[in-house]
């Protein structure tokens, strides 16, 4: 039924007055809820921003602390005892410093931890051992969990939430950074030129002074224990030969173009035979004196001297008869001190005037030692002609240069890596005419080493022992740089660790002058000099060569680069191919270090050690560790 207007009015009046206060109440409730949500939103935003600031700070602090370990080890002074402890202390301070620069407090003693990141083949994942003594990971924690509001790590203040009794909130963030471990294969030049600074080699006398070379040979004599043989003095001198007939009452001193004769009495004749076969006889009434050729024989080298004492007795002193020279030097019956070489061959080197002999050495004459005998030129002979371990097994004990400097540098590399504790491993390749991985040492009187099951190793002492007991020209004499790179790549291919940065350190003091049979310098068809060797970015190659030997080295280096390997290079001495080594380092995205020639022993060794130190500290940039690590 339809109601009239009057009926609607009567019904409305019966219902009572309208509820005008309900809207206000509802509005107040709604505003309270809105303000509560706004407070929560503001406080939550504050928490999020604070946590992000803390996260950014610990990220930066962890990265800086990881790199600080390297810097601290490198710069630690001689008074530092425990290098690793010192480095970690410096890393803690660096973490706190960087965090503070980002407005976040980090307690260096509590909030910085060290561990070792490694690949676990069982889980096929990288894991971290936070109890390992070897550290290549730094974890930094920022905390806001102290209820004391006056402390820098106090709870985060929440002004709006305080109205409901939650005026603060704890926060905690962490970040871990690691330095990628390296597998470093040292590729060391073992050619004979690695002893050139220690005798009068043609290549080095241009750069080293007479006194420097003489001093270097002296170091070798010192390291051998200053042995003597017969009556030879250290500095070469003329040989004085006693008579076999009259003993020491009659002696003849050979002085190349003259002789000095001493006779106790009755010296009547002196006959000289010269290098061209001519003879000249002198009659005398004196018992001592100097005789030399005259006229057409003037200044001619003398090969024999005959003297007559009394009316009929003659004795011959033959200066090209080894037995006569041995008698004069007190070497009769004295065995030659090394497995290879001989007194006769040494005498030949000293006596030779012209080329054509296997033991011709022009430098002996240039320095005034022709026809003079002494320990210094004996060592010169042995270093030049009998340098290998099989021939002269004592030379590994000596400071022959530049090989000794390189030995000390590689041992320093092992020291640095051991102290750095970034879990770097080392391998060792040597090259000369051929090339091989150094992994076994079993010679008498030497430590026993066998790392053949793990030739890239963290057994740093084994690597030290292997290099320490080697010498220049240890096996063979030539220089096969490309072969050395080939062995290094094969070693890394076969034994490199998953997750480790494969790195090659190539060192030489000379020029590549041989390669394996069947090898050549042909480059791949895709080879582009402008792309590979544009040092300054102008699109034009800064290095190019048509030399077959050098191209072979570059080809081998490119194979290593294509396999993902970094190559550092070092040239030692004035004879090294500096530009080739620079090109290989550029190609290998590594660093090149030149150790110049013409230096004293102390300067050379200091520069080589510094070079190895720089390469050891050239660690990959620190990386933040993924959460799954």
The pLDDT assigned to 15 comes to 53
The pLDDT assigned to 25 comes to 57
Strand-pairing partners, residue 594, are 571
pLDDT tens figures, 233-242? 999 999 999 9
SS3 label, residue 422? coil
**What are the strands, taking DSSP E only, across 407-466?**
425-431, 435-437, 440-441, 449-450
| Domain limits, CATH 2.60.40, in the chain | 239-324
- d(CA 273, CA 291) in angstroms, rounded, equals 12
The pLDDT assigned to 4 comes to 59
Lookup result for tokens 């005789």: 291
CA distances from 286 to 254, 290, 302, 316, 397 (A): 19, 11, 21, 19, 51
- What value does the mean pLDDT take over residues 251-266? 94
SS3 label, residue 290? strand
Tokens of 441: 């040492």
- What value does the mean pLDDT take over residues 586-602? 91
CA distances from 53 to 106, 111, 143, 557 (A): 13, 17, 12, 45
SS3 label, residue 412? helix
The pLDDT assigned to 473 comes to 97
Residue 515 has pLDDT above 50, yes or no: yes
- d(CA 549, CA 520) in angstroms, rounded, equals 8
**Which one has a higher pLDDT value, 166 or 470?**
470
CA distances from 390 to 376, 407, 460, 463, 569 (A): 21, 19, 26, 21, 29
Q: Are residues 349 and 364 in contact, defined by beta-carbon separation less than 8 angstroms? A: yes
The pLDDT assigned to 8 comes to 45
pLDDT tens figures, 178-210? 989 999 999 999 999 999 999 998 765 567 888
183-191+396-622 sits in which CATH class? Answer: alpha beta
The pLDDT assigned to 50 comes to 79
pLDDT band per the 50, 70, 90 thresholds, residue 38: low
**Which one has a higher pLDDT value, 39 or 596?**
596
- d(CA 303, CA 277) in angstroms, rounded, equals 9
Q: Which fold has domain 239-324?
A: Immunoglobulin-like (2.60.40)
SS3 label, residue 623? strand
Residue 6 has pLDDT above 70, yes or no: no
Residues with Cβ within 8 Å of residue 444, at least 6 apart in sequence: none
Its pTM stands at 0.84
Q: Are residues 188 and 507 in contact, defined by beta-carbon separation less than 8 angstroms? A: yes
Measuring CA to CA, which residue among 482, 450, 484, 477 is closest to residue 466?
Answer: 450
- What value does the mean pLDDT take over residues 409-427? 90
The mean of the pLDDT values for the chain is 89
- d(CA 10, CA 229) in angstroms, rounded, equals 146
- What value does the mean pLDDT take over residues 80-88? 82
The pLDDT assigned to 2 comes to 55
Q: What would the DSSP string read from start to end of 109-174?
A: TTSEEEEEEEEETTTTEEEEETT-SS--EEEEEEEE-BS-TTSTTBPEE-TTGGGGT--EE-EEEE
What is the 8-class DSSP label of residue 365?
A: H
pLDDT tens figures, 455-481? 999 999 999 999 999 999 999 999 999
- What value does the mean pLDDT take over residues 89-115? 94
Q: Are residues 176 and 378 in contact, defined by beta-carbon separation less than 8 angstroms? A: no
Half-sphere exposure in the Cβ direction for 207 (13 Å, CA): 19
The pLDDT assigned to 628 comes to 46
Q: Centre a 10 Å sphere on the Cβ of residue 168 and count the other Cβ atoms it contains.
A: 15
- What value does the mean pLDDT take over residues 322-327? 97
| Domain limits, CATH 3.40.50.410, in the chain | 183-191+396-622
Percentage above 90 pLDDT, the chain: 64
């Amino acid at each position: 039924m339809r109601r009239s207007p009057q009926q609607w009015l009567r019904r409305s009046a019966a219902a009572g007055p309208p509820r005008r206060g309900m809207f206000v109440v509802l509005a107040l409730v709604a505003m309270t809820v809105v303000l509560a949500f706004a407070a929560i939103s503001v406080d939550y935003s504050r928490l999020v921003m604070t946590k992000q600031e803390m996260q950014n700070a610990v990220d930066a602090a962890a990265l800086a602390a990881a790199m600080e370990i390297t810097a601290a080890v490198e710069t630690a002074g001689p008074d530092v005892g425990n290098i690793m402890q010192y480095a970690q202390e410096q890393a803690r301070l660096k973490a706190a410093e960087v965090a503070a620069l980002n407005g976040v407090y980090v307690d260096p003693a509590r909030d910085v931890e060290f561990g070792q990141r490694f690949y676990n083949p069982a889980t096929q994942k990288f894991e971290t051992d936070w109890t390992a003594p070897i550290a290549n990971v730094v974890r930094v924690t920022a905390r806001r969990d102290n209820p004391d509001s006056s402390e820098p790590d106090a709870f985060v203040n929440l002004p709006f939430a305080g109205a409901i009794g939650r005026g603060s909130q704890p926060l905690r963030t962490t970040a871990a950074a690691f330095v990628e471990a390296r597998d470093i294969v040292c590729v060391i030049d073992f050619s004979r030129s690695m002893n050139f600074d220690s005798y009068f080699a043609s290549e080095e006398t241009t750069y080293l002074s007479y006194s420097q070379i003489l001093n270097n040979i002296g170091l070798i004599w010192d390291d051998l224990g200053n042995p003597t043989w017969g009556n030879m003095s250290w500095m070469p001198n003329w040989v004085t030969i006693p008579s076999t007939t009259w003993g020491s009452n009659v002696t003849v001193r050979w002085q190349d173009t003259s002789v000095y004769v001493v006779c106790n009495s009755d010296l009547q004749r002196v006959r000289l035979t010269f290098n061209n076969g001519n003879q000249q006889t002198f009659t005398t009434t004196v018992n001592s004196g100097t005789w030399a050729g005259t006229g057409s024989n003037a200044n001619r080298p003398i090969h024999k001297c005959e003297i007559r004492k009394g009316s009929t007795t003659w004795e011959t002193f033959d200066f090209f008869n080894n037995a006569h020279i041995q008698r004069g030097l007190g070497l009769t019956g004295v065995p030659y001190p090394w497995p290879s070489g001989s007194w006769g061959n040494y005498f030949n080197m000293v006596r030779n005037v012209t080329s054509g002999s296997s033991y011709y050495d022009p430098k002996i004459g240039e320095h005034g030692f022709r026809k003079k005998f002494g320990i210094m030129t004996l060592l010169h002979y042995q270093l030049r002609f009998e340098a290998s371990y099989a021939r002269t097994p004592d030379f590994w004990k000596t400071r022959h240069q530049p090989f000794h400097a390189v030995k000390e540098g590689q041992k320093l590399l092992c020291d640095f890596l051991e102290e750095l504790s970034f879990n770097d491993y080392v391998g060792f390749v040597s090259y000369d005419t051929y090339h091989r991985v150094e992994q076994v040492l079993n010679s008498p009187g030497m430590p026993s080493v066998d790392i053949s099951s793990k030739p890239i190793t963290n057994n740093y002492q084994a690597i030290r022992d292997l290099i320490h007991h080697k010498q220049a020209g240890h096996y063979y004499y030539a220089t096969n740089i490309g072969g050395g790179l080939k062995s290094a790549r094969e070693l890394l291919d076969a034994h490199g660790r998953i997750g480790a940065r494969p790195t090659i350190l190539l060192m030489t003091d000379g020029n590549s002058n041989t390669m394996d049979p069947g090898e050549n310098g042909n480059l791949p068809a895709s080879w582009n000099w402008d792309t590979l060797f544009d040092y300054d970015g102008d699109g034009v190659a800064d290095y190019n060569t048509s030399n077959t030997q050098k191209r072979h080295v570059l080809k081998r280096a490119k194979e290593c680069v294509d396999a993902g390997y970094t190559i550092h290079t070092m040239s030692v001495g004035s004879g090294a191919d500096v530009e080739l080594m620079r090109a290989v380092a550029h190609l290998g995205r590594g660093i090149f270090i030149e150790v110049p020639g013409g230096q004293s022993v102390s300067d050379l060794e200091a520069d080589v050690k510094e070079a190895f130190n720089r390469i050891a500290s050239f660690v990959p940039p620190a990386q933040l560790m993924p959460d799954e690590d």
